[in-house]
Amino acid sequence: QTIYLSDYTPPAYLVEDVHLTFRLAPTATRVIARINFRPNPEAKSRAFFLHGEGLKLIWATVDGQIVQPGIDEDGLTAEVPDAPFTWEAEVEIDPAGNTRLEGLYLSNGMYCTQCEAEGFRRITYYPDRPDVMAPFTVRIEGEEPVLLSNGNPTDHGPGWAEWTDPWPKPSYLFALVAGDLVAREDSFTTRNEREVALKLWVRPGDEHKTEWAMESLKASMKWDEEVYGREYDLDIFQIVAVSDFNMGAMENKGLNIFNTSAVLASPDTSTDANFARIEGIVAHEYFHNWTGNRITCRDWFQLSLKEGLTVFRDQSFSADLRSAAVQRIEDVMALRGRQFREDNGPLAHQVQPDSFVEINNFYTATIYEKGAEVIRMLHTLVGPDDYRKALDLYFDRHDGEAATIDDWLNVFEDATGRDLGQFKRWYKQAGTPRLSVEEQWEDGTYTLTFTQDTPPTPGQDEKAPLVIPIVTGLLGPNGDEVVPSQVLEMTEKTQSFTFAGLGAKPVPSILRGFSAPVILTREASPEERAFLLANDTDPFNRWEAGRMLAKEVLTAMVTGKEPPLDAYLGALATMLRDDSLEPAFRALALHLPGEDDMAQTLHDAGITPDPARIHDARETLLQEVAEHLQDSLPRLSAEMVIEAPFAPDAEQAGKRALALALLRLTTRLDGGKAAAKVYAEADNMTLSLGALGCLLDAEAGEAALADFEARWAGDALVMDKWFMMQVSHAAPEKAADVAARLAEHPAFNMKNPNRFRSVFGALAMHPAGFHHASGAGYALMADWIIRLDPLNPQIAARMSGAFETIGRYDADRQGMMREALERIAASEGLSRDTGEMVGRILRA
Ligand code: ARG
Ligand code: ZN
């Protein structure tokens, strides 16, 4: 059954306060709720309905009188007064049997919760919708040494603890944790001199992996004060690491719960990419305290209100702490890899959808990453000062409320005087706009004429023009900047911008910093791209020029044309030897476009992609690059050696990234000799894993794999890498077999989302393997989605996104993908989650 934005109605009853008592027991936990309700003056109806799923009701009362509610699979209804009243109920739930990892469940012997979006209804009967906000008091009774919930600790005794959260919150922010845990403790003094206790809870033995997240947390708290003027608002802030978790992390008020993979780090066990991701996620969840918790969402159609904004905030934080240029390139790579792929396939949807079946299917790259891009564009259009003014007004006006995306845009209109009527289309129109550009040069005047066009998406055939901020600068023939960056504000379908008084025809640098989430197409010679790669003052566009050139080379190779190889290799070599460029940037510029990116690029150009040919072309080009750079590799590699002790900072990470990019090239020339040495001598996971990948590529990884397994068998997060590497570095024809074999490994556990993803997520992200002409990848994926769905529908649904690129491929592949999808669709008792995803892919 479909839920529509247009059907929104205010809740019939509001909640004054909530008291919960938990009597913990693995298979029979009792939850006793006392909830004070009052009629909502804004509501038309007085129908009393409480959500509840999978609950065993023991008893219920209204104002102390036993009642017999009408119960179905979604919840209950009861006769209640048209006046304030007290609801009390006791239910029984089974945390040990909860494999969905929604609501209250046991992970590794420890109780924990995940309530967003609609998990609280699996804990007790409640109006489980974000526009019902209330203060919570929680009493936990259990024999576990540590008993935690949201807010401040207000009382405890032997075998029980009480927590009080004074800030009204929606139920999706509720959290409870109980187990044998140890804390890293620290504290933070806010700008108003309030002491906040910080505790990061982990299982005994993981203490040494907590320092990085704690440092990241303190940096986040400081940054939010300095950049957004936001201060923390409780006496304590806690994070708990949990090994079975569907997503990355969750911003529960005062008690964030994290997937171990998103919080635990040590040099031995974590890569530089892990450290950076942890820093970003810790910040993201912390930032939610204001953008998400203090101001929450009226309903789930407003999800991007908190997620898009909070992603924009965490990206800005990382850009401030690290290299802004590198951060932007990485964010855009992720956007293109996941969001553009989604936006150009059957699962395309609006940043603010009009309808959904299962909300968990909408925690997507579009809601998160495109949502962040939309806010970045607002920031670009109004400028930093007005942006801050608008945000101040937003916090002022909506603190304590459940707000909407319209409220957000109204704030910007009121603070800046700008009409955002057309801008709102970014929220309501799905699909990636194509932006093409033509140039004209006459009598010292240079004209750029842009045309925008958004292709149809499922259910949305007609697209109107969007407001597109196109940050543009012009370079003179010597590479000097003759017109500095400015924002060209495009509002029409076709629109020209002129630059007068120029001495010579300039080279344009368009869409600097990737100022809008569009696909820019512009004819340019390889020489011009090489010129930009050498001279552009905008680091993003500098990288982009190399990227475009690489894509042109690969496209030519795949389609049997003459590739502009000399221009590319020459430009690459020059760039690589340029010491003024930070190593991290050079590493990114050396990284060839991925196979999935190439498949989409070819599809966009009207060519049916053949994953095998793309794979081969990429291999061939890597070999060419290696041979061309052969003489520079030893010297450059030597320059990237780090003498100082390991630090996970951006500078060292950049050097290691370049060192490994060079090692991948060297491996093509020496068959893995250098990589074996790096593997043997590595004193950190970044180099170990990078070298292992090289050895696997060279088909010389057996010994290292065995060594790695023996060394890390006791560390689940490292073993996830061991599983993943074998799939992602498998030869295309072997990838499905490798995945199938790994799924039989004694350490494989389908109930653990990280482990499942490390095998099947890796297969989905190995295009030549997953799309192998045998169809083995499709069949295996379908088998495992069908097996996982009854246990964990959320992860099964997510995994079915592997098939979202069906529309790109040839008839044979489409036929086999369809067959796999139909097999999933026909499996008995299929969840709403997976049913919706598979249905959307099949129907498009
Ligand atoms: N709000 C969380 C975050 O952005 C994501 C939780 C989503 N969980 C889910 N099961 N849908 O960090
Ligand atoms: Zn979030």
What's the pLDDT tens digit per position in 121-133?
999 999 999 999 9
Count of beta carbons in the 10 Å neighbourhood of residue 354: 15
User: CA angle, 132 as apex, 407 and 374 as ends, to 5°?
Assistant: 30
Whose alpha carbon is nearest atom 8 of ligand 1?
116
* Nearest-atom index, ligand 1, CA of 310: 4
How far, CA to CA in Å, does 128 sit from each of 3, 171, 359, 495, 631?
15, 6, 13, 48, 64
Mutate to test the pocket of ligand 1, among 287, 356, 363 (most ligand atoms within 8 A of CB): 363
Mutate to test the pocket of ligand 1, among 116, 220, 293 (most ligand atoms within 8 A of CB): 116
Segment 177-202 shows an average pLDDT of 98
Residue 363: which of 51, 787, 838, 801 has the closest Cα?
Answer: 801
The answer to whether the beta carbons of residues 672 and 698 sit under 8 Å apart is: yes
Q: Residue 631 Cα, ligand 2 centroid: separation in angstroms? A: 46
582-599 confidence digits (pLDDT tens): 999 999 999 999 999 999
The answer to whether the beta carbons of residues 13 and 304 sit under 8 Å apart is: no
Q: Residue 88 Cα, ligand 1 centroid: separation in angstroms? A: 29
549-559 confidence digits (pLDDT tens): 999 999 999 99
* Nearest-atom index, ligand 1, CA of 248: 12
pLDDT for position 106: 98
- Using CB atoms within 10 Å of the CB of residue 453, give its burial: 0 to 12 exposed, 13 to 18 middle, 19+ buried: middle
- Looking at the DSSP bridge assignments, the partners of residue 474 are 483, 508
* Nearest-atom index, ligand 1, CA of 114: 10
155-175 confidence digits (pLDDT tens): 999 999 999 999 999 999 999
Q: Residue 363 Cα, ligand 1 centroid: separation in angstroms? A: 7
**Cα dihedral value 736, 738, 744, 750, nearest 10:** -60
Q: Which one of the ligands is nearest to 247 CA?
A: 1
Residue-wise DSSP of 522-562: ----HHHHHHHHHH-SSHHHHHHHHHHHHHHHHHHHHTTS-
Q: Residue 799 Cα, ligand 1 centroid: separation in angstroms? A: 16
Residue-wise DSSP of 779-798: HHHHHHHHHHTTT-HHHHHH
Mutate to test the pocket of ligand 1, among 242, 250, 253, 278 (most ligand atoms within 8 A of CB): 250
* Nearest-atom index, ligand 1, CA of 249: 12
d(CA 768, CA 772): 6
Q: Is the pLDDT of residue 120 over 90?
A: yes
* Ligand 1, residues at Cβ distance < 6 Å: 114, 116-117, 246-251, 284-285, 307, 360, 363, 794
Q: Which one of the ligands is nearest to 311 CA?
A: 2
d(CA 259, CA 244): 7
Q: What was the ipTM of the complex prediction?
A: 0.98
The answer to whether the beta carbons of residues 833 and 794 sit under 8 Å apart is: yes
Q: Residue 596 Cα, ligand 2 centroid: separation in angstroms? A: 26
Residues in the chain: 844
Whose alpha carbon is nearest atom 3 of ligand 1?
250
Q: Is the pLDDT of residue 303 over 90?
A: yes
Segment 350-368 shows an average pLDDT of 98
Q: Residue 345 Cα, ligand 1 centroid: separation in angstroms? A: 23
Q: Distance between the two ends of the chain, CA-based, in angstroms? A: 19
pLDDT for position 549: 97
604-638 confidence digits (pLDDT tens): 999 999 999 999 999 999 999 999 999 999 999 99
Whose alpha carbon is nearest atom 1 of ligand 1?
250
Q: Which one of the ligands is nearest to 314 CA?
A: 2
The answer to whether the beta carbons of residues 343 and 350 sit under 8 Å apart is: no
Q: What are the E-state strand segments in 246-294?
A: 249-250, 255-259
Q: Tokens 């042109």 correspond to what residue?
A: 552
| Protein residues placing their CB within 5 Å of the ion ligand 2 | 307, 310
How far, CA to CA in Å, does 778 sit from each of 612, 739, 812?
15, 12, 12
Mutate to test the pocket of ligand 1, among 247, 310, 359 (most ligand atoms within 8 A of CB): 247
pLDDT for position 799: 98
482-534 confidence digits (pLDDT tens): 999 999 999 999 999 999 999 999 999 999 999 999 999 999 999 999 999 99
Ramachandran sector of residue 249 (left: φ over 0; alpha: ψ -120 to 50; beta: rest):
beta
CA atoms in the 13 A half-sphere facing the CB of 443: 0
Preceding peptide of 47 cis, ω within 30°: no
633-691 confidence digits (pLDDT tens): 999 999 999 999 999 999 999 999 999 999 999 999 999 999 999 999 999 999 999 99
How far, CA to CA in Å, does 794 sit from each of 247, 280, 303, 345?
10, 23, 17, 20
Segment 362-375 shows an average pLDDT of 99
pLDDT for position 560: 96
Task: Give the model's confidence band at 700: pLDDT under 50 very low, under 70 low, under 90 confident, else very high.
Answer: very high
Task: Give the model's confidence band at 716: pLDDT under 50 very low, under 70 low, under 90 confident, else very high.
Answer: very high
Count of beta carbons in the 10 Å neighbourhood of residue 363: 18
CA atoms in the 13 A half-sphere facing the CB of 521: 12
d(CA 342, CA 600): 11
Q: CB-based contacts of 413: which residues, under 8 Å, 6+ apart?
A: 419, 420
What is the residue-averaged pLDDT of the chain? 98
> Checking DSSP bridges between strand 85-93 and strand 494-499, what pairing results, if any?
unpaired
pLDDT for position 475: 98
Q: Is 285 a catalytic residue?
A: yes
Segment 98-114 shows an average pLDDT of 97
- Using CB atoms within 10 Å of the CB of residue 219, give its burial: 0 to 12 exposed, 13 to 18 middle, 19+ buried: middle
* Nearest-atom index, ligand 1, CA of 102: 10
Per-residue b or e along 371-406, where b marks 16 or more CB atoms closer than 10 Å to that residue's CB: bbbbbbbbbbbbeeebbbbbbebbbeebeebbbbbe
Q: Is the pLDDT of residue 844 over 90?
A: no
Q: Residue 394 Cα, ligand 2 centroid: separation in angstroms? A: 18
d(CA 480, CA 508): 12
Whose alpha carbon is nearest atom 11 of ligand 1?
360
Q: Tokens 């989604």 correspond to what residue?
A: 342
Q: Residue 634 Cα, ligand 2 centroid: separation in angstroms? A: 43
pLDDT for position 630: 98
> If you ran DSSP here, which 8-state letter would residue 487 be given?
E
- Find the catalytic residue in 102, 118, 141, 285: 285
The answer to whether the beta carbons of residues 545 and 568 sit under 8 Å apart is: no
Residue 40: which of 134, 142, 105 has the closest Cα?
Answer: 134
Q: Is the pLDDT of residue 536 over 90?
A: yes
